[in-house]
Structure 1
Amino acid sequence: MSSSSTQPQPSTGTSWILIAVASGAFAALNGLFAKLTTDTHTTAFAHSIAHLFGLESSSFLELLVRGLCLGLNVLCNIIMWALFTRALTAGPSTVKVSITNTSSNFLMTALLGMVIFKESVGGLWWLGAAMMGAGCILVGMREGA
């Protein structure tokens, strides 16, 4: 048996793109849950849960919600790495997979920041993001088809 048959071969399809995008999305979720572990939004959320169920706001419930966020942080990190390594195996080059992953992470982080934390993202930010995306495309094109 030749050693090349035991090595995983890169995919000629585009499935690696979806895997790399999903990996980037889970990286963004990882960051979201990391921030929620220590953010004041978590305190407000715990108080809302207590109010919804007619409970007194307690530090135990807040600690429980923060622990859940920490657990989701770790879970998203594990999923992100599993997907990223799978994309590296299936993709045509590590550069293309890394660019796709990073771009997905970057955009998803911006969207989550706007939706969850009401962060404003101005035109200059989007211009910078577009320039970074264009640079990533150029680097990916340089790698060859």
Structure 2
Amino acid sequence: MDKPHSRWIILALTSGAFAALNGLFAKLTTADQTTAMTHAILHFFNASDDHPILELIVRGICLGLNVLCNVIMWALFTRALTAGPSTVKVSITNTSANFLVTALLGMIIFQEKVGGLWWVGAGMMGGGCILVGMRDN
């Protein structure tokens, strides 16, 4: 792959990853895991578990990271659209990366179970991405 051709792919994949991170931080803004994370921070510093302000700060940081990831995702996606051969190829690549990174983050951070049928669907999306990518304009 030559450099100009691969640039849009890297931008679209990175944009999809930031979209997944956007979702992660959106969920952490309101999830119970944030409370547990706050208690772990307090425990690390041998502080009492009754610090609601710290939890608000942690949730505020998650909200800020949510917004930051959203801005980065849109900036990268726009650049990918500009550099890419078609909006369809860029959108499919972005969406495929978003799906896969979201699944991995869900399994790692939230211990979510991702069933076999989901992986079949994700594989079909990846295969569709390859087919569309191979299509001549």
One fold, TM greater than 0.5? yes
The answer to whether the aligner puts 1:38 opposite 2:24 as a matched pair is no
In the alignment, is residue 115 of structure 1 matched against residue 105 of structure 2?
no
Identity value in percent: 72
SS of equivalent residue, structure 1 residue 118: coil
Q: Which whole-Å CA distance do the structure 2 matches of 1:22 and 1:54 have between them?
A: 38
CA distance in structure 2 between the partners assigned to 1:17 and 1:95 by the alignment: 12
Moved more, 105-114 or 127-136: 127-136
Identify the residue that residue 27 of structure 1 maps to in structure 2: 19
Equivalent-residue separation in structure 2 for 1:130 and 1:72 (angstroms) = 30
Alignment map for 1:85-124 (pairs within 5 Å): 85-124=78-117
Aligned positions of 1:1-145 closer than 5 A:
12-57=4-49, 58-142=51-135, 144=136
Q: What whole-Å deviation, never above 9, does each CA across 1:4-63 have from its counterpart, x for those lacking one?
A: xxxxxxx84211100110000000000000000000000000011011112222111111
Specify every segment of 5 or more residues in structure 2 that has no aligned partner in the other structure, as ranges.
none
RMSD after superposition? 1.4
The TM-score normalised by the length of structure 2 is: 0.92
TM-score normalised over the length of structure 1: 0.87
Q: 2:12, 2:132 → 1: CA distance?
A: 17
> Deviation at 1:134?
2.2
Q: How many residues align?
A: 134
Say whether the 8 Å CA contact 1:17–1:91 is kept in structure 2: yes
